[in-house]
Structure 1
Amino acid sequence: MAELVYPPVIGFARVMFKAQGLRFDIGGTEHVPREGGALLVSNHIGYLDFIFSGMTVLPAKRLVRFMAKESVFRHKVSGPLMRAMKHIPVDRSEGMHAYAHALTALRSGEIIGVFPEATISQSFTLKSFKSGAARLAMEAGVPLLPVALWGTQRMWTKGHPRQLGRNRFPITIRVGEQMTPDENEKPGALTRRVRLRVQELLEDAQRAYTGRPNGPEDRWWLPAHLGGTAPTPEQAAAMDRE
């Protein structure tokens, strides 16, 4: 079936990014499979992460169907677009329907995108991963594709105003090699291994990042361990609980 909505949305996003002066450094796109199902697994630091992680598959002429919370599909603007782009709604009180939907899509050769931290990390460090992504990939018999994003939090993230004007922010993205389960590997072990790989990619993206704070008051987007004023992981966990 022809994709009538997704390509124009991508084109619009590219025009907007150019107008904003965003500078992209994307590495590892050669690891994206040219055909067949795969589960894209990314860290989550901003509201626009699905757009940026989805950009990694474009050189392979692929599209990503993201699993997103069901409330996004109820919005009068985003809802029709999300459905037309064949993203997958997730009702957290009834998650098996979304799981079955994603499983069918993976087996039919789609790339499915997930954020296994489940929510945005307000410390901008990697939170623990839910094991659902590993279970899904193992049951579908597809590889996991690890992705790390950095700089996207500067545009729009939880607890901070949007910066969607001409800001010229650098955005750094790293894609790792496809990962498959080892023989007799359990979902929990695979989850830990994938998280470790995303952590390595994230550190690589942070080292390569060319952006610098615009003064002392602009250190909010840097994690505490990198000299920033973002909450520590412990503080962020307490904020999530509240």
Structure 2
Amino acid sequence: MFYWLLKFVLLGPFLRFYNRPEVEGVEHIPADGPCIMAGNHLSIADWIFAPLSSPRRINYLAKAEYFTTPGVKGRLKKMFFSGTGQYPIDRSGADAAEDALNAARALLDQGKLVGLYPEGTRSPDGRLYKGKTGLARLALETGVPVIPVAVIGTDKISPQGGFRWRRHRVTVKFGAPIDFSRYEGMSGNRFVERAVTDEVMYELMRLSGQEYVDVYAASLKKGVPSGSRPNPAADAARIPDTAVG
């Protein structure tokens, strides 16, 4: 109930007036049934504008710290994140990636839309980074379609480095569902999972207009040098990858 209250009464009207989001491709979202919503990740504002633009609730996986802060502030934070469709995931343990996938499977089994950020973290510089293959594993094991969701302009609204909220126009683009049934039974094949992931990243690159970088964003933040590649899908068949999550 709080989700819809925020969307239509408390937060949504203000954001529609203040940031004037433009929305494309809403017709690609199925009226019912499970689907993975795979988004680019520029800002903490991404998970606000994508659900605001969707006729159906999008459920995201969020780190458990958002739900466990003590005190009144912690209770308010828990109420906010729970009410906006977030589901807590402990990312500190060795099985964090598997726990996240299990939570996402459970939501999909209930016929829900599950939002994932295949980059795994926010882009440090506005470019689109290499996707992790947990999304592919989830899509192949469940057989549900993947809808790419590109959000443009949120890094101008709420840039990294402290909470700020600026007046800037946002564009949300929902791409056509991608059906990976041609890979049925091939979950666990790292080359197939990389091909699936890169196909999704290519669509996000096309929708968002971002430059693609064939390096994990988290690795770049740790000082690994990057090199850009304009078409990740073209190299999908020959890129080995063992990352899951």
TM (norm. structure 1) is 0.77
Q: For residue 241 of structure 1, what is the amino acid of its counterpart? A: K
Q: Does structure 1 retain, via aligned residues, the 8 Å contact 2:58–2:114? A: yes
1:111 aligns with 2:113: yes
How many residues were matched structurally? Answer: 206
Q: 1:14 is matched with which residue: 12, 15, 21? A: 12
1:43 aligns with 2:40: yes
Q: 2-side partners of 1:195 and 1:143: how far apart? A: 15
Q: 1:154 is matched with which residue: 153, 156, 178? A: 156
- 2:237 matched to which residue of 1? none
The 1:233–1:181 alpha-carbon spacing in structure 2 relative to 1, beyond 3 Å, is closer
Q: For residue 195 of structure 2, what is the amino acid of its counterpart? A: A
**Pairs within 5 Å for 1:181-200:** 181-184=180-183, 186-200=192-206
Offset at 1:89? 1.8
The secondary structure found in structure 1 opposite 2:128 is: coil
- Give ranges in structure 1 of 5+ residues lacking alignment: 207-222, 226-231
The secondary structure found in structure 1 opposite 2:137 is: helix
Q: 2-side partners of 1:40 and 1:111: how far apart? A: 7
TM (norm. structure 2) is 0.76
Q: 1-side partners of 2:82 and 2:163: how far apart? A: 27
* Cα displacement string for residues 121-149 of structure 1 (whole angstroms, at most 9, x for unaligned residues): 01111011111111112212211010111
Give every structure 1 segment of 4 or more consecutive aligned residues whose post-TM-superposition deviation is greater than 4 Å.
236-239
Offset at 1:163? 2.8
Q: Over aligned residue pairs, what C-alpha RMSD do you find?
A: 2.5
1:69 aligns with 2:63: yes
**Pairs within 5 Å for 1:1-242:** 4-11=1-8, 12-18=10-16, 21-58=18-55, 62-75=56-69, 76=74, 77-92=76-91, 93=93, 94-95=95-96, 96-159=98-161, 162-164=164-166, 167=167, 169-184=168-183, 186-203=192-209, 240-241=221-222
Q: Does structure 1 retain, via aligned residues, the 8 Å contact 2:121–2:218? A: no
Percent identity between matched residues is: 27
